[in-house]
Amino acid sequence: MNTVEPIRKICDLKKLKNTISLNNNRDILIFIFGINFGLRISDILALDVKDVKNKTFLYIREKKTGKHKKIPINSKLKPLINEFTKYREDDEPLFLSRFKNRMERTQCYRILKKASIEAGFEYKIGTHSLRKTFGYHHYKKFKDIVLLQKIFNHSSPHITLRYIGIEQDEIEESYNNFIL
């Protein structure tokens, strides 16, 4: 299967974040949104300035499912958002391309792919890695797969575990610890 993976190690997460932050504030904010909100890249790129500027909650309607979500904007993100939107018009897209159009997912993919190569990653990284990274670390911290299933709108905990790569981790660990 040719799927992307979550960024499992905190040191890799920091390394990728540092690599991306060398480029510009837009790219690092997209990265931070992805790993803190667990949204699909299409939902992140659909945001306008008015959706986040001076807000305590993010209200979205997921493009894929059509379901509504209310997500608190944490204290770490608020100052980054305020700085990023300080001189911006409310009705413009939050994330603009260099041509001042709404940024597209392929551009985000190229940014993440380039940064992951520069960071020396050997595993597959893509835009969906951000959402999977959120899920992986949320699960590791809270151990509540049912809550994560609800956040992701998955139909079962099994799907969520497979999605965030926990099943593969457990399989590899069992092989590594099974020695006859």
Q: Which residues are catalytic?
A: 40, 64, 128, 131, 154, 163
User: Any idea what the Cα angle at residue 15 is, between residues 100 and 32, rounded to 5°?
Assistant: 45
Tokens of 40: 């699909």
For residues 105 and 95, give the distance between their C-alpha atoms in angstroms, rounded to a whole number.
Answer: 11
The region, left, alpha or beta by phi > 0 then psi within -120 to 50, assigned to residue 104 is: beta
For residues 98 and 102, give the distance between their C-alpha atoms in angstroms, rounded to a whole number.
Answer: 9
